[in-house]
Amino acid sequence: MQKKLFIPGPVDVREDVLEQMTRPIIGHRTNAASDLQRGISEKLQKIFYTDNTIILSTSSGTALMEGAIRSFTKKRAAVFSNGYFGTLWYKMALYNNIEADLFKSEKGEAITPDMVEKVLSTGKYDLITITHNETTSGITNPMEELSSVIQNYPDVIWCVDGVSSIGGIKLEIDKLGVDVCIVSSQKCLGLPPGMAIASVSEKAIERARQIEFRGYYLDFLELYETIKRTDYQYISTPAIPMMFAMDYQLDKIFSEGLENRFKRHEQLADMVRSWAKKHFKLYAKESCASNTVTTIKNTLGLNIDLLNQRLGERGFQISNGYEDLKDKTFRIGHMADCTVEELQELLDTLDEVLGCDLREEWLAI
Ligand SMILES: *Cc1c(COP(=O)(O)O)cnc(C)c1O
């Protein structure tokens, strides 16, 4: 049975968007490709609230994260984390022989301006990474507050993982002074998996020029210079069908209206949080709880795989907790084009499943 996805990516994609991917293929060195890619980039600038250059990558978001830490760290990276994806930047730095230190938030809490100030004021770092919305813990970091600290360090390149927020939670790149922001297609933008997008500032590009070994496929400088030289063409063959779908879906996002889209996500999050608090507890402090994914503490000790199996029989899928939070938490994704009605259906089904099964069946092994 086809399941409605309430996982934090990939998300359900609307039929009409999927259909765009069946359009006849065009050559990637044609004016038509330039027009398509230029058009997409201009639309994405509006979604990122930026005049910075947009880079499209035929890869998932992880690839551009690795490309960014490699292309922009000269001295040492300060990696801030509230969960798995935050810490991933640190692993990437290590594996690429880039000097880095990892700073973790308190469990269930946001990264604070004080933490950042303490680290940057040492003068040891020339790059900082922040996860806007940590999809494992369900935490959204206070970007305006963090920006007011980071802005005082103009030599530091600020990289943001916006993978599970851009298109669902407002993030004004230029106002905040974010140098690099990365998003994947399959989360809040409501597209299939397969492409990643980054905005990149001139300041970051100047930094990349000072770094000798940046790789090739994910080298931001090579990507940047190629699109400038070729009128928005790419260094290799991009996923053209995804571009058709993206171009089309971005227009659908504008017809909903960005502010309406952010409000809808607030409303979805409120619904899930109220439901979760009736039965369980939230993993994140409510003041920093995410509007696109809710991580719920499994306070009833349920067998989450069994819960998901029961939901699956009814046509729904949610997510277990990630890595060390597996079974201790579970997650409900409420992003992209998910409507209030669709979410209500899921919550009603969860109530039905939780209410009708024998208690002992639920006990975790
Ligand atoms: C999903 C996710 C990633 C990884 O993105 P991929 O597109 O799967 O590579 C990174 N960071 C966050 C916050 C995510 O939610």
pLDDT tens, position by position, 260-288: 999 999 999 999 999 999 999 999 999 99
Using alpha carbons only, what angle is made at residue 150 by residues 163 and 336, rounded to the nearest 5 degrees? 20
Q: How confident is the model at residue 221 (pLDDT cuts 50, 70, 90)?
A: very high
Fold of 4-9+257-362: Aspartate Aminotransferase, domain 1 (3.90.1150)
pLDDT exceeds 70 at position 361: no
Closest CA to ligand 1's atom 12 = 163
Instruction: Report the percentage of the chain scoring pLDDT > 70.
Output: 97
**From 3.30.300.160, 3.90.1150.10, 3.40.640.10, 3.40.630.10, which CATH number describes the 24-254 domain?**
3.40.640.10
Using a 10 angstrom Cβ sphere, with 0-12 exposed, 13-18 middle and 19 or more buried, the burial of residue 80 is: buried
User: What's the rounded Cα separation, in Å, for the pair 189 and 248?
Assistant: 11
- Residue pair 73/96 in contact by the 8 Å Cβ criterion: no
Q: Which of 140, 187, 294 to mutate to test the pocket of ligand 1 (most atoms within 8 A of CB)?
A: 187
Q: Compute the mean pLDDT over every residue in the chain, rounded to the nearest whole number.
A: 96
pLDDT of residue 360: 52
Fold: same for 4-9+257-362 and 24-254: no
Element (H, E) at 160: strand 157-161
Q: Which residue has the higher pLDDT, 83 or 359?
A: 83
pLDDT of residue 1: 81
pLDDT digits (tens, 9 = 90+) for 3-33: 999 999 999 999 999 999 999 999 999 999 9
Find the distance separating the first CA and the last CA of the chain, reported in whole Å.
27
Q: What is the dihedral of CA 179, 323, 5, 89, to 10 degrees?
A: 10
**Measuring CA to CA, which residue among 8, 29, 44, 42 is closest to residue 197?**
44
Question: 3-state DSSP helix/strand/coil percent for the chain, to nearest 5?
Answer: 45, 15, 40
Quote the radius of gyration of the chain (alpha carbons, Å). Answer: 21
pLDDT exceeds 80 at position 359: no
Q: What is the dihedral of CA 90, 95, 100, 101, to 10 degrees?
A: 50
Within its chain, how far is the Cα of 10 from the centroid? 11
Sketch the domain layout of the chain as residue ranges: 4-9+257-362, 24-254
Q: Which of 111, 161, 295, 319 to mutate to test the pocket of ligand 1 (most atoms within 8 A of CB)?
A: 161
Q: How confident is the model at residue 40 (pLDDT cuts 50, 70, 90)?
A: very high
**Measuring CA to CA, which residue among 136, 130, 67, 121 is closest to residue 103?**
130
- Residue pair 123/102 in contact by the 8 Å Cβ criterion: no
Q: How confident is the model at residue 188 (pLDDT cuts 50, 70, 90)?
A: very high
pLDDT of residue 357: 54
Using alpha carbons only, what angle is made at residue 221 by residues 111 and 131, rounded to the nearest 5 degrees? 15
User: What's the rounded Cα separation, in Å, for the pair 239 and 248?
Assistant: 15
What residue ranges line ligand 1, CB within 6 angstroms? 9, 60-62, 85, 131, 134-135, 161, 163-164, 184
Q: How confident is the model at residue 46 (pLDDT cuts 50, 70, 90)?
A: very high
**Measuring CA to CA, which residue among 197, 203, 195 is closest to residue 174?**
203
pLDDT exceeds 80 at position 362: no
DSSP 3-state of 176: helix
pLDDT digits (tens, 9 = 90+) for 90-119: 999 999 999 999 999 999 999 999 999 999
DSSP notation for 263-323: HHHHHHHHHHHHHHHHHSEESS-GGGB-SSEEEEE-TT-B-HHHHHHHHHHTTEE-EEPPG
pLDDT of residue 355: 87
- Residue pair 221/227 in contact by the 8 Å Cβ criterion: no
Ligand 1 atom closest to 134 (CA): 13
C-alpha distance from residue 302 to each of 18, 98, 138, 279, 329 (Å): 36, 41, 20, 11, 10
pLDDT digits (tens, 9 = 90+) for 126-137: 999 999 999 999
Residue with tokens 């020339």, as numbered in its chain:
126
